[in-house]
Structure 1
Amino acid sequence: MKKKLKVLMIDDHPMIIEGYKNTLLGENQKEYQIKIDIASNCDDAYASIVKSSETVPYDMLFVDIKLPPSSDGSITSGEDLAKHAKELLPKSKIIILTMHREDHRIHNILKNINPAGFLIKSDLTSSELLLAFNNILKGKAYYSATVNDHFRKMMTNKFSLDEKNLKILYHLSRGVKTKNLPNYVSLSLSAIEKRKNQIKEMFSIAKADDQMLLEEARKRGFI
């Protein structure tokens, strides 16, 4: 007898959803009877999660990070949805799929959600999606190449930087001036300057300018 699986796919691009569906249903029909629900925004996704928690819980959720926010503004991304899902559906497996590949975003998602699967869309192929799906069903975590690279970077450094420090480095690398960083990082300018100096001291380049700081951060794999 086929094992029944209930899956929620959350993405606002219909062609991407169709690709996921075709991949899973095409290869797993002999072994599984898969029921797939679809949501393209935070409102519909949250409603599906709540309904599932009150009836038959989802076995697996595929969650894109960038989504149209909820109508009341309380849920702004797939990251918020995943947090709700972990609370309402504690036994469900969450797979994050995203185009975001910046180290500070990867770090944040791993820290805040700790998903069973984490796939960067630019890494993704049909065979890798199937591999992730089957590994996660067996209770094994699965991360795509970019996420694994992030782990290796963090492990080869003698220390790690917190989320705000990573954001500071990221936005500096994108050309944002220090005076404008408070618009991107929820800190005062004086707090940002203090953190920059702390990072420079950690890198043993206390008197370096921003360009040297970014060069050192790149060498160490933080950006």
Structure 2
Amino acid sequence: MPEKIKILIADDHQLIIEGILSYIKDIDHLEIETTNSCDDAYAKIKVALTETPFQILFTDLSFDNATENSRIDSGENLIKTIKQEEIPIKVGVITGHSETNRVFSVIQNLNPNAYLLKGKCNTAELTFAIEKMLTGEIYYTHEIHQKLLKRALIDIQMDDVAIQILKELPKHPKISNLEGIITKEDGSLLKIRSIENKLAKLRTDLQANNNTDLVLKAKELGILD
């Protein structure tokens, strides 16, 4: 690591900040500042640009203390603002949000340098994440990495027919009602036997117990809204 690493930690819960500080207090060469608001985090980052810029920002995603007067009301909007203004700082997420669709959305749209989970990170992981971030590498904690791999695998398996079936499934109490609705790539209608076979494969792929569970899993993975 370089001789001096300037880090800003933003979280609306002071106890969380104290926990993170306890993990990294013994890491050499760190200069750490903290804040409980996104607006203040942004202001600190901007002011520091004229003197000694922050090299790393660790932020939560949700800030329950945001008000209607807050210019930046979430960690996601803070990251978005930093990216839009091309501020030279590495951004890491430390959050309790591990829902696959939320994780996928944040990583796909905001491309943070790190994604760690509250309550599961420790000194070793934070040290490793900081080292990776400073060298321009990406670090996602194991659980997040596994979710992304699963989502990527699901995306590969999700063809247009599968998406049609998943979208129509909640609207019809009987599977037989889907016949005459689902179309193949050539525009022809899918027969009930083919629909049932596709549903069976989807339940296996998404590890769903039944069709209701299948829809819930598809929503969890962000395949359905």
Same fold by TM-score, threshold 0.5 exceeded? Answer: yes
TM-score range relative to shorter protein: 0.5 to 0.7
Q: How does 1:185-204 map to 2 (within 5 A)?
A: 204=198
Q: Mind listing any 5+ residue stretches in structure 2 that lack a counterpart? A: 172-181, 184-194, 204-209
Q: CA deviation at 1:71?
A: 5.2
Q: Which moved more, 1:80-89 or 1:106-115?
A: 80-89
Looking at structure 1, the residues matched to 22 and 86 of structure 2 have their Cα atoms a distance apart, in angstroms, of 25
Native 8 Å contact 1:153 1:220 kept in 2: no
Partner of 1:189 in structure 2?
Answer: none
**Partner-residue secondary structure (3-state), 2:49:** helix
Distance change (3 Å), C-alpha of 1:58 and 1:135: same
Native 8 Å contact 2:103 2:144 kept in 1: yes
Q: Does 1:126 align with 2:120?
A: no
Distance change (3 Å), C-alpha of 1:12 and 1:142: same
Equivalent of residue 36 in structure 2, options 23, 36, 40? 40
Distance change (3 Å), C-alpha of 1:76 and 1:109: same
Q: How does 1:51-70 map to 2 (within 5 A)?
A: 51-67=47-63, 68-69=65-66
Native 8 Å contact 1:7 1:58 kept in 2: yes
Q: CA deviation at 1:82?
A: 1.1
Partner of 2:18 in structure 1?
Answer: 18
Partner of 1:172 in structure 2?
Answer: none
Distance change (3 Å), C-alpha of 1:217 and 1:160: farther
Q: How does 1:64-143 map to 2 (within 5 A)?
A: 64-67=60-63, 68-69=65-66, 72-88=69-85, 90-143=87-140
Q: Mind listing any 5+ residue stretches in structure 1 that lack a counterpart? A: 170-176, 179-196
Native 8 Å contact 2:56 2:91 kept in 1: yes
**Partner-residue secondary structure (3-state), 1:123:** coil
Larger Rg: 2
Q: CA deviation at 1:6?
A: 1.4
Identity of aligned residues (%): 26
Q: CA deviation at 1:57?
A: 2.2
RMSD (Å) for aligned C-alpha atoms? 3.5
